[in-house]
Amino acid sequence: MIDVIRILLPAVVAFIVGIALSPVVTHYLYKYKAWKKHGGKRALDGTEATEFARLHKATETKTPRMGGIVIWGSLALTAAAFWLVSMLAPSTTTESLNFINRNQTWIPLMTLLVGAFVGLVNDILDVVDKPQPLGLPLSVRLAIITLLSLGIGWWFYTKLGITSIGIPFLEPLHLGVFIVPLFIGTTLFVYASGVIDGIDGLSGGVFASIFSGYAFIAFANGQYDLAAFCAALVGALLAFLWFNVPPARYWMTETGTMSLTLTLAAIAFLTDLKGEGNGIAVLPVIGFLLVATVASNVLQIGWKRFFKRKLFRIAPLHHHFEAIGWSQPKVTMRYWILSLILCISGVTLALLG
């Protein structure tokens, strides 16, 4: 029973903290007009994204960015609260509720905070009053992510002894030192999926399902602190989602998506248990909508290059559904339904495999 409470209580606390934090964040985002001063964006090939402008240009100059502060801020405050209680009133119970430790949660906490900071810098640069604000250059962001994932991947290999990945129903796949480039590639791929944050309520619901799935997997593995971390992140995401459903009070943007995607990659590897778990193998299942988002961008670029026309009306995929006439709530709700089914499927595969 105590193990279940260790998982559920941080989720509830993070949700309450997020609900309390949101009005404060919202006040300052509106006070300082933290939205793009000029709507529109460039397509993947560098040309003007006319279809995107038709769908979203008006709201881009009215809705504040940086709502992701609520997510990582709630998680950080919740973790700090449980740690502080365990320090001020040490006991078996309070110490068990403190889910931040070196073995399981230091790495995802670090990726969350580093991603949050770099994303926040990008978002601040993105709302300055310039004709074409570009934020932090993509090359800089990719370089930071590559260096961070290189360091973490090397830590997995040398300190944690992670050299294999689990394959459901098969023997573990031994990779040795190649676990490092696998982690780098996985992190970059998952980061690219952050563009799923494009419709009110969409990304919050999808990420909540994904991290719920990994909370179940971590719990089944006996990684209770990591499960509590994932659950707290779900609570923070639901608090964000409370204010992000249509019409959104704010958008997640880079400070949210970068922190979440980097953390997701780290958690997938941590739940693999040196090849004895299936955290990595089920990532494409639990996170299939993220895979589809990246794939639609890649296909759109390739299609235009080789066939001189678009495959989708607009990429990524969720905007294509908008362009063909689906309402934003319809897209969002159907993505939520799919993300829940995929979460259940991925967790089942991880546990049975």
Alpha helices for the chain (secondary structure H):
2-31, 50-60, 69-88, 92-97, 106-126, 138-158, 179-192, 202-220, 224-244, 253-270, 283-286, 288-307, 317-323, 328-352
Domain boundaries, the chain: 2-352
Q: What is the pTM of this model?
A: 0.94
Query: Residue 152: which pLDDT band, with cuts at 50, 70 and 90?
Result: very high
Residue 88 has pLDDT above 60, yes or no: yes
Cα–Cα nearest to 207, from 123, 326, 293? 293
Report pLDDT digits (tens) over 97-131.
999 998 899 999 999 999 999 999 999 998 886 66
Report pLDDT digits (tens) over 162-202.
899 999 989 999 999 999 999 999 999 999 999 999 899 99
Q: Which DSSP letter does residue 193 get?
A: G
